[in-house]
Amino acid sequence: MENTNHEYTIGTVQHFLPQIGRVVGCGPVELAVFKTSDGRIFAVENKNPHPKGGPLAEGIVSGHYLYDPLYDWKIDLRSGEVQAPDKGRVATFPVTVDGESVKVTLQGTLIQS
Amino acid sequence: MRVERKQLVLIGNGMAGVGTIEQILKLGGAYDITIFGSEPHPNYNRIMLSYVLEGSKSIEDIILNDRQWYADNNITLHTGTTVVKIDEEARQVIADNGLAVPYDKVIIATGSNSFILPVPGSTKEGVVGFRDIADCDAMLAAAKQYRTAAVIGGGLLGLEAAKGLVNLGMDVTVVHLLEDLMERQLDHTASSMLQAELTRQGVKFAMGKQTAELTGDERVNGLRFSDGSELQADFVVMAVGIKPNTQLAKDSGITVNRGIVVDDYLQTSMENVYSVGECTEHRGTCYGLVAPLFEQGMVLAKHLCGAATQPYEGSVVSTKLKISGVDVFSAGEFTDTPEHTVISAKDEWKRTYKKILLKNNVIVGAVLFGDVTESANLQKLVKQGTEMTDDIYSEVMGTGCCGGGNAKKGMSVEAMADEEIVCGCNGVTKKAIVDAVTENGFTTVDEIKACTGATRSCGGCKPVVEQILQFVLGDSFKESAKAGICGCTPLSRDEIVAEITAKGLRTTKEVMNVLEWKQPEGCSKCRPAVNYYLGMIYPDTHEDEKESRFVNERMSANIQKDGTFTVVPRMYGGVTTPEDLKRIADVSLKYDVKVVKVTGGQRLDLIGVKKEDVPKVWEELDMPSGYAYAKSLRTVKTCVGNQFCRFGTQDSMGVGAMLERKYERLDFPAKFKMAVNGCPRNCAESCTKDIGIVGNDGGWEVFIGGNGGIKPRIADAFCKVKTDEELVEVCSAVMQFYRETGNYLERTSEWVERMGLEQIQSVILNNEENRKELAARIDFALAQVSDPWKKMLKEEDTRSALFEKAQH
């Protein structure tokens, strides 16, 4: 198993609408990418941490929190942690903005799985 | 020096045993704990299995203690392992896999098994009990493969199983030995009402039937009764009762009667061995319900931790049926005898029934059907053996004024003992709630829920938790009671709307900023609400905020749990054409629509459209959006009317389509449904609509505030009008008044109750000028709306951001 990081360019800053999630496929992983109202961009796996699953990209964004679209769980986009009283975690991926282009880094191990 | 910890072994990894362990941990008991469970799962909430079957909860939802919990508390857990013997001499328990664990104390909590009728054929394939996750899985699997099912036993569990199987699409017959369902909890009246309600919900009944044999070869194919009659069934659930699981105790030489015999401290005949839960027999009684288990567990935990405790003296049992939409409750004695004084009220129209039994003026039992709001209160009164007074009478029979009632409620919470279980599902005591509130400064039930788990499962205890909160907070509760629309603001809906108008606020951001929201960008509850209020106040200038809409409204389509969407085109008045049907069929085939469903609102759902295909489906259908996703006018249901029907007195199809075209697309506080009928036969069911219209020979009668959903409500007769023009004006005025005064997400059924029918009538009917102004305001708002599908097809950027997935 190769343990290198893969960097994907997923579009420009303009490409992402404020507080409206966008689905982006990066290799084997489907991401939900959000631009918060302060202009920061967050990427999480587009997989609802609720046991019944489903997507995340369609949720309501408030500050750096996301309210999931199916079960209304509150999720911190920075850490992926589900907020009390619910419990769980969604995978997060580091995002860098290079000029206008938005890049996401996936770890090699994750690509294998 | 380290104190030697004692070895505690729990046999049985269910609610009773693990509940006891939780209490021991809370009390700081110095034990090394080992738990054996024969099921392969961690501890789950067995009483919630009915919800799993019904489909409203998943197995994960009902897990009470996940494996992490055992690890966190240093508990050794052996799942899928059955203990076969307690060896008193060697002081160890022995499992079926040969494992031997030494003990200082043992708790037996092996629960019970389904009682399988000893009739020929009971061991055939396709015959199950309803006790555990495995049974539940078997039922879910059977529903996929087979069509007919029989449930033997018309008790609590049998009825829950039957309703679950009906929900899964099976044809289900409940077979019951006696003439009354749930005869161990209900009297004849409540039982008949229950049977009628379940029949309405699609459950069939074979009453007074004794099963003599299960027929079939390898697999069951039917039942033969003692009277010779037969019933076909591909699947049989035995829910005739439970049998305490006492095998281990017997094999170990412990005294067993019907259950494992214990004293008032749950001690069995063997020294250092205790028993709690359904396997236990205390003073001649084996309990099969959850509350007694926790009460026993509490006494045992204290006893084992050396804390002072009252002995366990038995429990007053109460029952609540866990079927959505069927509310039944019983506590204590329920069958009246000459020595009882009976208070009863039966309302055949609202389908409610209430009975309270007194013995020497002490409340000894109660039965409720339909309306169970007083259940928590009555349970307490029965349990405490309270004497009936004028105050209590008016409180529980709903005849008193609210002020007096509230004061009384506060008092009874105060009188409640600290150890009393408030939340039966999660075993939370009054003290645990009081401590949570005082230690953490909580002010809401939600905070209590997050910390203690109380109200988390069935929610039945919420009124009591609220009362405890009120009791602890005293005067400061008043402040928190004036709760805002959500946790982000203390302001009410009316205050927010007034501030928006007074200060001329224009966006949700501005509102939240100026009105000092705690969370600057709000939450999923207040953002959509504020966006609605802004649109209602400024119909022409408010720029709708897509990012403040729920997913369905933002996407103009309904999200399904797998992330696919449902597309529903308009079908005005429920009338379509062969051409439109053809196009729907072609598009459905082309885009591989999973299901085409005829809805209750007389149109077609195209279910399971892939997200990226949604805009293409809209484009190729080339029909207006049906707004099935929106808090907006959904459908106008119609009957055939005088165009074709020999009874018709009015053109219901024509007027229905006209109304749907007129009012479509406008935002309302909640979804809005209408119906138009051509005659009083009312085939299009006006009584359950927000506005229901019934034609007669001389005009129309208008009904408002009906609902057929979670809390059904029959619409109130609002007025009669002569012409179609008057009809439109009244509908416009009602809708606009609701738009302007309704709380976001409040249906008209709740709105009518809150505002009062007379108040709405006086605003609209007694004041022509007001009525015309309301109608003019809705017309102005209606002039601003346009079809969202066409709009989205033109807006490339939004469309691609919302629906497309770029692959990198």
Q: B224 pairs with which residues across the strands?
A: B213, B230
Provide CB contacts within 8 A for B749, sequence distance 6+.
Answer: B690, B705, B706, B707, B711, B713
Whether A16 has its CB under 8 Å from any CB of chain B: the answer is yes
Collect the ranges in chain B with pLDDT lower than 70.
1-3, 324-325, 398-412, 456-460, 475-483
| Cβ within 8 Å, pair A18-B547 | yes
Partner B contacted by A84 (CB < 8 A): yes
Q: For the residues of B728-779, what is the DSSP string, one character each? A: HHHHHHHHHHHHHHPPTT--HHHHHHHH-HHHHHHHHTS-HHHHHHHHHHHH
Tokens of B176: 């019951």
- B385 alpha-carbon distance from chain centroid: 30
- Alpha-carbon gap: A86 to the closest alpha carbon of chain B (Å): 8
- Looking at chain B, which residue has its C-alpha nearest residue A69? B551
Bridge partners of B806? A24
Element (H, E) at B719: strand B716-721
Q: Look at residue B126 and give its three-state secondary structure.
A: coil
Q: What are phi and psi of B329, to 5 degrees?
A: -145, 140
Quick one: tokens of B558?
């309904």
Provide the pairing of β-strand A22-26 with B805-807. parallel
Does residue A113 register a pLDDT over 70? no
In this prediction, residue B416 carries a pLDDT of 77
Q: Does A51 touch chain B (CB under 8 A)?
A: yes
Record the tokens describing residue A40, joined without a space.
């920061």
- DSSP, residue by residue, B57-83: S-HHHHBSS-HHHHHHTT-EEETT--E
Are A25 and B548 inside 8 Å of each other by CB?
no
Rounded to whole angstroms, the Cα distance separating B662 from B426 reads 51
Comparing C-alpha atoms, which of B187, B443, B417, B158 is closest to residue B299? B417
Question: At how many degrees (to 10) do helices B724-741 and B757-764 cross?
Answer: 120
Q: How far apart are CA B586 and CA B603, in angstroms?
A: 17
How many CA atoms lie less than 13 Å away from B377 in the CB half-sphere? 22
Residue in A25, A37, A72 nearest the CB of B808: A25
Which whole-number Å values give the CA distances from B667 to B38, B544, B547, B742, in the listed order?
55, 11, 16, 12
Contacts of B450 in chain A (CB under 8 A): 84-85
Interface test with B, best of A37, A60, A105 (most B CBs within 10 A): A60
Q: With contacts defined as CB-CB under 8 Å, which chain B residues touch A37? A: 509, 521
Nearest CB to A61 within list B449, B547, B561: B547
> Per the CB < 8 Å rule, is A55 touching B563?
yes
Residues of chain B contacting A82 with CB distance shorter than 8 Å: none
Residue B123 CB coordination number (10 Å): 9
Residue tagged 């929190």 (tokens)? A65
Nearest by Cα to B182 from B369, B372, B314, B354: B369
How far apart, in whole angstroms, are the C-alpha atoms of residue B206 and residue B222? 13
Best mutation target among A15, A17, A23 (most B Cβ atoms within 10 Å) is: A23
With CB atoms and an 8 Å threshold, state whether A67 touches B524: yes
- pLDDT at position B404: 37
Contact residues, chain B, for A67 at CB < 8 Å: 523-524
**Paired strand residues for B429:** B421
Q: Do A24 and B805 touch (CB under 8 A)?
A: yes
Q: End-to-end CA distance of chain A: give it in Å, rounded.
A: 10
pLDDT tens profile B492-550? 899 899 999 888 899 999 999 999 898 889 999 899 999 999 999 999 999 999 999 99
Tokens encoding A30: 């489907």
Taking the C-alpha atoms of residue A8 and residue A16, their distance in angstroms, rounded to an integer, is 16
Size of interface A-B (CB pairs under 8 A): 89
Q: How far apart are CA B118 and CA B693, in angstroms?
A: 57
The residues near B808 (Cβ < 8 Å, ≥ 6 apart) are A8, A9, A10, A24, A25, A26, A27
Instruction: Indicate the helix (H) or strand (E) that contains B299.
Output: helix B290-304
- Hey, are the CB atoms on B450 and A67 less than 8 Å from each other? no
Chain B residues in contact with A33 (beta carbon < 8 A): none
CB contact under 8 A, B546 and A58: no
What residues in B contact A10, CB-CB < 8 Å?
Answer: 806, 808
Average pLDDT in the A99-103 region?
Answer: 90
Q: Chain B residues within 8 A (CB-CB) of chain A?
A: 58, 60-61, 446, 449-450, 456, 509, 519-524, 527-528, 546-548, 550-551, 554-555, 559, 561-563, 611, 797-798, 801-802, 804-808
Which residues in chain A touch residue B509, judged by CB atoms under 8 angstroms apart? 37
Question: Encoding tokens for residue B645?
Answer: 């029907």
| Residue B148 near residue B274 (C-beta atoms within 8 A) | no
CB count in 10 Å sphere of residue B332: 21
Q: Which of B446, B611, B801 sits opposite A17 (nearest CB)?
A: B801
Could you tell me what percent of chain B has a pLDDT over 90?
Answer: 57
In A, which residues are within 8 Å of B561 by CB distance? Answer: 52-54, 70
Give the ipTM: 0.89
3-state secondary structure B490-521: CCCHHHHHHHHHHHCCCCHHHHHHHCCCCCCC
Cα-Cα end-to-end distance for chain B: 62
Which of B376, B458, B404 is closest to B366 using CA atoms?
B376
pLDDT of residue B405: 38
Q: How far apart are CA B37 and CA B110, in angstroms?
A: 8
Entry field: residues in chain A = 113
Question: Could you tell me if A88 lies within 8 Å of chain B, comparing CB atoms?
Answer: no
Pick from A16, A54, A72: CB nearest B524 = A72
Number of separate helices (H) and strands (E) present in chain B: 29, 37
- Cβ-Cβ contacts under 8 Å, A11 against chain B: 806
Average pLDDT value over all residues in chain A:
87
pLDDT digit string, tens, across residues B588-618: 999 999 999 999 899 999 999 999 999 999 9
pLDDT at A13 over 80: yes
| Cβ-Cβ contacts under 8 Å, A52 against chain B | 58, 561
Q: What CA–CA distance (Å, rounded) separates B711 from B696?
A: 29
| Token pair 């020929």 in the structure block, residue | B120
Is A38 an interface residue toward B (CB < 8 Å)?
A: no
The distance of Cα B757 from the centroid of its chain, to the nearest Å, equals 28
Residue B330 CB neighbour total at 10 angstroms:
27
Q: Specify the 3-state DSSP secondary structure of B726.
A: helix
Task: Give dist(CA B666, CA A4) in Å, integer.
Answer: 53
Query: φ, ψ for residue B715 (rounded to 5)?
Result: -65, 150
Choose the closest CB to A37 out of B61, B521, B563: B521
**Per-residue confidence (pLDDT) for residue B43, from 0 to 100:** 87
Tokens linked to B464: 């009591």
